[in-house]
A and B are shown apart, each in its own frame.
Chain A
Amino acid sequence: MENAGTGREAPLLEARNITKYFGAITALDGVNFHLSRGEVLGVVGDNGAGKSTLMKILSGLYVPSEGQIVFDGRPVRFSSPRDARNAGIEMVYQDLALAGNMTIFENIYLGREPGQKFLGLSVVDQKRSREMAQEHLDRLKIHVKSVDQLVEELSGGQQQAVAIARATAFDARVVIMDEPTAALAIKEVGKVLDLISGLKDHGVSIILISHRMDDVFYVCDRVMALFHGRNFADAPLKDTNRNEVIGWIMGTKGHSEAVAHDQVR
């Protein structure tokens, strides 16, 4: 057990010196990352800055080319999303990764269906699965007509909610959300953000990737910026402001207020 020597509590999830190559492309270059217990961290950066890649490494979808991940004080190696999930790290992907041809309750438990073995085959207990899904959705205050609806029949916001429900169905400790509000109508954005606040109240640590400053400043405790695959800036929310963060996204620090203002969409 080595300790950095700072007075702070050790972070729940930490990544050191992460580098990721895709062939000739360097998507991440020596990135450091940390997330505390119960914290909501906003991750910002321009398109292609490497946000999704970093998150996919933390959630086990990609293996880093270099660097180390430490979870709950222990070095870990995730070689698949299943490993990360078993450790308690869940991700809501940018494209949601839902099976539209299947029902809400099946999506929530996909790959982790409750059931029992029968002749060596795992048989899904669909009745229990339905009930568990309904209870879980109620707990999250997500309203759907029926858990038997096909996911492709839902609105974007409802699909996002299902993806979040799936990520939180098994006592997740860290939930990573990749631009959960990007594809939503305004009135659905609020619901998703409230969902995130709700998770935080349940003690879940959350990483939120977003291009929307409203999202970041509504739910986050801290914000970190990536630029061209490197750490660029990192600050508690109370020590920064929208224009500064927008400047970070564009790769400028300090004197950028005027420039930033023109770029606000």
Chain B
Amino acid sequence: MGSKALLLRYLDRFGIIIVVLLMIAVLTYLEPQYFLTFRNFSNILKQIAENAMLSLGMLLVILTAGIDLSVGSVLALAMMCLVMADIVGGWPWWIVVFIGPLVGIAAGLFNGFGLTLLRLPHPFIMTLGTLFAMRGLTNLISGGVPYSGLSDPVRFLGSAQIPLSFLGPGATLPVSAIVVAIAYIGISLFLRRAAVGRHIYAVGGNPNAARVSGINVDRVLLLVYALCGFFAGMGGLLTAGRTNSGFPLAGQGAELDAIAAVIIGGASFFGGRGTVLGVLGGVFIMGLLRNGLNLQNVSPFWQQLLIGFIIILAVWIDVLRRRAAVRT
């Protein structure tokens, strides 16, 4: 019984890596020429960077049994603000690069205050409001039209590539991947080691227990939504860099991708359960799937259908796993 429980716990934690490796194996088999090249992996890394950012923030929120529907809109707002400051305002780049994350934090705090001060019944409602409001604001400040042609230093994080030509033709390491790596390692340490990180799990597991333990639950929630906004703002900065533009429709529906990655990564929608590694796995599963299906010329419509089933499958596996755990 003890060893079985231990095995289950390991599967819980590392099972997702096995899934990712399996996918890589299958895709390599289907596309032996191209899939397993460094060029393709550079591409995949570039493509998943934004979802990786949004999903990391979404994990924090979902850990507290919350949800943030506004991340796509916040991404667009942050992107539009920094792009206009750069192109229209001509501000120096070292100010512009902070605008994205700062706008994100502000929007996150807006969500957080709505939840804690106004005591709106569920984060779904507050962030749904923010989803609309921030999209409207994005359209207002941009006049609904896209801008392009950013200055190079502003584009750096989102578009620069570190050449790794010794690994093969076209092999590069996107700087955005380094940003993602730093964020993931940082948040992973934060969640596992910092007292506040543990409090996030406590708030999600039993808010009442957290409260009577002297944890300031409202402050934890504020922090979590602010961080989620921060990562949405970072997503805006990366997207602006990658596309060399700002467009008011950016990030539409991106919140759903982020939620999907978190759930596929094994986090519980009811809070208190989920890991950074799992989310990374979820992001990769979605990224690999899109990449692989694109290489196979499968239409995006089929991709949507598949991702839908994978979400359902992931949650069903979770249900089975939980049931097995109860039996031991």
Contacts and interface: CB of A to CB of B under 8 A. Distances in A.
Interface of A: 59, 61, 80-82, 85, 91, 93, 95-102, 106-107, 110-113, 115, 121-124, 126, 145
A125 B213 CA distance: 18
A93 B212 contact: yes
Interface string B165-195: 0000000000000000000000000100111
Interface in B238-282: 272-273
A112 B272 contact: no
Instruction: Across the A-B interface, give the 8 residue pairs with the lowest CB-CB distance, nearest first.
Output: A111-B213, A82-B214, A101-B205, A101-B272, A99-B205, A111-B214, A97-B209, A110-B213
Contacts of A124: 193-195, 198
Given A123-B195, A124-B195, A124-B198, A98 B206 contact: yes
B220 to A, nearest CB: 11
B202 A99 contact: yes
Given A101-B201, A124-B198, A110 B210 contact: yes
Nearest to B208: A97
A189 to B, nearest CB: 23
Contacts of B211: 81
5 contacts: A99-B201, A101-B273, A121-B196, A124-B195, A126-B193
Contacts of B194: 121-124
A112 B190 CA distance: 17
Interface string B128-166: 000000000000000000000000000000000000000
Contacts of A126: 193
Given A59-B212, A99-B202, A99-B205, 14 more contacts: A81-B211, A97-B206, A97-B208, A98-B209, A102-B272, A110-B215, A111-B199, A111-B214, A113-B195, A122-B195, A123-B195, A124-B194, A126-B193, A145-B2
B33 to A, nearest CB: 46
B204 interface: yes
A209 B210 CA distance: 23
